[in-house]
Amino acid sequence: MLEKLEKILSIEKKEHQYDWEKVEDSYEIKFPNDYKSFIEYYGEGGINEFLWILSPFSEYENLNTIFKFNSIPSSKLVPKCTQRHFFSRVGL
């Protein structure tokens, strides 16, 4: 996958090694392997100022996955939708 992206996007490789286990254990979260590979090869940043890739290792708050996740109110993380509410919205 990364080879295809490299050809399409012409992104410069950075090749960092990060302690994913420490971050995942600290925050009780598991990041996908392809995401971890992308961050290790290319780091965080924007693609054409449209798609932003965040990293838990970024020193910039706006690009730091953990900072952004913690800034979202908990009410936005878990939908408070019951089946009854859902079905009544779609007319069933």
CB atoms inside a 10 Å sphere around CB 2: 14
Rg of the chain, C-alpha, whole Å: 17
- Whole-model pTM: value is 0.68
Q: What per-residue confidence (pLDDT) applies to 90?
A: 44
- Does residue 39 contact residue 18 with C-beta atoms inside 8 Å? yes
Q: What per-residue confidence (pLDDT) applies to 68?
A: 86
Q: Specify the DSSP element, H or E, that contains 51.
A: strand 51-53
Taking only the tens place, the pLDDT of each residue in 33-90 is 989 988 998 889 888 888 899 999 999 999 998 888 888 776 555 544 444 444 334 4
Q: What per-residue confidence (pLDDT) applies to 88?
A: 39
Q: What per-residue confidence (pLDDT) applies to 86?
A: 40
- Tell me if residue 48 falls in helix, strand or coil: coil
Q: What per-residue confidence (pLDDT) applies to 39?
A: 92
Strands (E), the chain: 45-47, 51-53
Q: What per-residue confidence (pLDDT) applies to 75?
A: 54
Q: What per-residue confidence (pLDDT) applies to 10?
A: 72
